[in-house]
Amino acid sequence: MKILTTGSHGLLGTNILPVLERSFTVIPYDIEEWDITDRDAGERTIRDIRPDVILNLAAYTNVDECEDCLSLADRVNAEAPGIIAKLCSDHNIKFVHISTDYVFDGEKETPYREDDETNPTSVYGLSKLSGEKKVLANCPDATIIRTQWLYGHGGINFITKITKIAREQGVAEVVNDQRGCPTYAKDIADPILLLIEKNRSGIYHVANAGSCTWFDFAREIFSCLHIDVVLKPITSEQLNRKANRPRNSVFDCSRLFRDTGHRMRTWQDALHDYLS
Ligand SMILES: NC(=O)c1ccc[n+]([C@@H]2O[C@H](COP(=O)([O-])OP(=O)(O)OC[C@H]3O[C@@H](n4cnc5c(N)ncnc54)[C@H](OP(=O)(O)O)[C@@H]3O)[C@@H](O)[C@H]2O)c1
């Protein structure tokens, strides 16, 4: 089977492609080969490559920047996935698209299920929700994987940022009023493979098991790495970022288990694996 991936040089692509390559012939495209907002480029790419599956990892992911760039967020995160979905439907290609916990407002007290009401509170979340809707309208057999709080090899992420601050300043202030599940990007690969293999469609929540706040996550990171640091809890209000983030975005991943038999490992096990 041939799988064409978009946005392949990003965080998720960097971490899952080596795993996907064990089961698929992977064609790893990024914006240089295929700007997903370009419909003609999409047509050409599909004609040239003739993939069995397209996995859309491309997105405009700078959540704060999106607040000032509505139109770009809409083009990349909503319009483009809709275009790819239509192409997949026309050419009988399986489409797998990635979405986010930011489609929820975070007001629910318990873990979010796939059919819970969405209500994004940021431009990024709105654009990603619009993308989900366009994908399913144009390609009802598509699979949408919502994930959250990703970290992994390559580039900058929460772990690299917070350890740099701790080592340089000896003190780190971390938000303690947002709860979610940190997820090792590599751990998304097996669910993708299984969902394709079992020909599942619709929306799936995929994240490492358990939950914590960013503060708890930082504490675990420093403990694993034996970094001596003064860790201070702060509120989202104190951090004062441009875009709003959900206070609770913990996922219920039982649909994934029901339909594939795959259980995600805990965020602590995944973190220890990553740091080792
Ligand atoms: N990271 C997270 O915590 C997280 C959480 C939940 C969901 N997700 C979702 O997971 C998916 C992958 O995210 P990620 O963290 O891997 O993002 P990322 O590191 O920002 O990677 C996205 C990739 O897409 C490329 N890209 C941007 N615009 C494009 C365009 N018009 N055409 C083609 N490629 C384009 C980017 O290229 P440039 O770098 O050159 O712009 C980059 O290589 C996204 O759908 C995201 O919404 C991520």
Query: How many residues in the chain?
Result: 276
62 C-alpha to ligand 1 centroid (Å) = 9
Distance in angstroms (rounded) separating the CA atoms of residues 255 and 95:
19
In a domain, 189, yes or no: yes
Closest by Cα among 77, 136, 126 to 104? 126
pLDDT confidence band for 155 (50 / 70 / 90): confident
Q: Is the CB of 60 under 6 A from ligand 1?
A: yes
In the DSSP assignment, the letter for residue 185 is G
Task: Determine the atom of ligand 1 nearest the C-alpha atom of 9.
Answer: 43
Active site residue 102: no
In a domain, 161, yes or no: no
Given a contact cutoff of 8 angstroms between Cβ atoms, the answer to whether 216 and 179 are in contact is: no
Nearest CA to ligand 1 atom 45: 98
- Beta-bridged to residue 221, according to DSSP, are none
Q: Does position 71 have pLDDT exceeding 90, yes or no?
A: yes
Question: pTM (2 decimals)?
Answer: 0.98
Given a contact cutoff of 8 angstroms between Cβ atoms, the answer to whether 57 and 10 are in contact is: yes
Q: Does position 256 have pLDDT exceeding 90, yes or no?
A: yes
In a domain, 219, yes or no: no
pLDDT tens-place string over residues 80-133: 999 999 999 999 999 999 999 999 999 999 999 999 999 999 999 999 999 999
Residue 143: give its domain's CATH number. 3.40.50.720
**Catalytic residue (one of 60, 124, 184, 204):** 124
170 C-alpha to ligand 1 centroid (Å) = 32
Range of the domain at 9: 2-151+182-209+253-264
